[in-house]
Amino acid sequence: MSMNHDWPPLSPMETGLRGRCPRCGQGHLFDGFLAVREGCEVCGLDYSFADPADGPAFFVICFACVPSVVMGLWIEVAYSAPYWVHLFTTLPFMLLTCIPPLRPLKGWLIASQYFYKAEEGRLVAESPGSGAAG
């Protein structure tokens, strides 16, 4: 493995959704379902920069949980369904629409952080010529 290797930019959608290293596209990003590895086993990229925080959960809540709750409410209002009906309809629908997207979304957000060189924001940036003049 060469430290001076120039890696071509890879699409965050391609690497992140597949759970692959954002630099080489070959190594694995996850160690388990949602746990991020310490680094890439192929190119050696350190994944310590990766911090998607609550981003994946936010997207799942917006795009999967809301329709699931609406479906459950519709079943309740339209049919006055007993609890066991919700147990066999609403609960599986909610689990199937909320849990599987978490991993690809987390991978996409981590790959996007690498691709766009995201870093912690700063309120005041020091300008290049602001050294102490003396």
pLDDT in tens, 15-34: 999 999 999 999 999 999 99
Res 1 pLDDT > 80: no
Asked if 29 and 21 count as a contact pair (C-beta separation under 8 A), the reply is yes
Tens of pLDDT, residue by residue over 68-116, are 999 999 999 999 999 999 999 999 999 999 999 999 999 999 999 999 9
Single pTM value for the model: 0.80
- Reference 97, options 49, 54, 46, 62; nearest CA is 62
Distance between CA 7 and CA 87 in Å, rounded? 49
CA pair distance 122, 120, nearest whole angstrom: 7
110 neighbors 13 (Cβ within 8 angstroms): no
Question: What residue spans define the domains of the chain?
Answer: 12-115
User: Which pLDDT score, from 0 to 100, does residue 129 have?
Assistant: 64
